[in-house]
Structure 1
Amino acid sequence: MNATVSIGTSTFRASIASPRASASWDALARLLPYAGTVLHARWSGEAIWSPLRTIWPAASLLPRENAVGEPRPGQILLYAGQDSEPELLLAYGQTRFASGFGPLLGNPVLTIVDRLDELASVGRSILENGAGTLRIELNSNS
């Protein structure tokens, strides 16, 4: 199964990183199609993030599933733990997932599979110019 990730006017193909039956994938699938804001992740290095607090079920936490703190470029993590607000983190370069409270671990849910150089340019643009838009949807032929 594949997804499309759009950041501003740039569109990327993504593959599902976790088995469909996982709690993280199920939680993300309930949010799709997702449309939100993306900001630069000031604590995490070369990454952007999308806050989910307005749409995430209150007091709903996710268990750690293959959780990582240093995602590879193109990896998209879903976090809904006790130490920060629910969010999607999209790594575009060297990233150490963190919040103001310290290091975090997020569950990989999607991986962007093409044009990582363009993804890095988009990430740097958000750093320099401010917030952008994010849209994630399943491909209809998936």
Structure 2
Amino acid sequence: MKRILVDAGPFRFVGQLEEQKAPRTCQRFLQLLPFKNKVIHSRWSGEAVWIPLGDFDTGLPFENHTSHASRGDVLFYPGGFSETELLFVYGSSIFASKMGQLAGNHFFTLTEGHEHLEAFGKLVLWEGAQDITFSLLNAQALPSR
């Protein structure tokens, strides 16, 4: 089981890849690590933040896809009807775009840091874009921040 460290604004989260349910998406995401970007608040998906990736061609099919992600889930939308993106869910959410409801590949689930999800989401909502970094966590203990 591969664990991923997420530094998001002033917060730190840890999660695991859903390798059995979304193997191709996990493999593709691992190729991008460490992944650094900005996260902004979603416009249509409720309590979620997202990383727009434009016309980035993931080469991915839909797998373990859903429109109804849970708090702490991260979806990778491979593109098609809307632009490619990552959706990071912090509360009640139905994945959508200006084109309507979407389904993204649920490939990553937070296992640590849930107590900070709401604060992180509200920070992005009220103060704007935040830095976010996903990196492979090899050590047993979290590195200090």
Same fold (TM over 0.5): yes
Paired residue total: 139
* 2:38 counterpart SS class: strand
Calculate the aligned-residue CA RMSD, in Å: 1.8
Matches within 5 A, 1:65-104: 65-104=63-102
Any idea what the Cα deviations from partners look like across 1:30-65, whole Å, max 9, x if unmatched?
1110000100001000000012237x34xx442111
**Matching residue of 1:27:** 28
**Which stretches in structure 2 are left out of the alignment for 5+ residues?**
141-145
Moved over 4 A (4+): none
Q: Which moved more, 1:16-25 or 1:92-101?
A: 16-25
AA of the residue aligned to 1:85: E
Verify: 1:106 aligned to 2:104, yes or no: yes
**Matching residue of 1:3:** 4
Any idea what the Cα deviations from partners look like across 1:82-125, whole Å, max 9, x if unmatched?
11111110000000000000001000111111232311111011
Q: Distance in 2 between matches of 1:76 and 1:129?
A: 21
* 1:113 counterpart SS class: strand
Q: Provide the identity percentage.
A: 34
Q: Distance in 1 between matches of 2:21 and 2:69?
A: 20
AA of the residue aligned to 1:118: H
Q: Distance in 2 between matches of 1:21 and 1:94?
A: 22
Q: Distance in 1 between matches of 2:100 and 2:120?
A: 26
User: 1:61, 1:81 within 8 Å by CA — same for their partners in 2?
Assistant: no
Taking a change above 3 Å as real, the CA distance of residues 21 and 84 of structure 1, as seen in their structure-2 partners, is closer
Aligned with 1:62 (options 44, 53, 60): 60
User: 2:21, 2:64 within 8 Å by CA — same for their partners in 1?
Assistant: no
**Matching residue of 1:12:** 13
Q: Distance in 1 between matches of 2:76 and 2:131?
A: 17
AA of the residue aligned to 2:77: Y
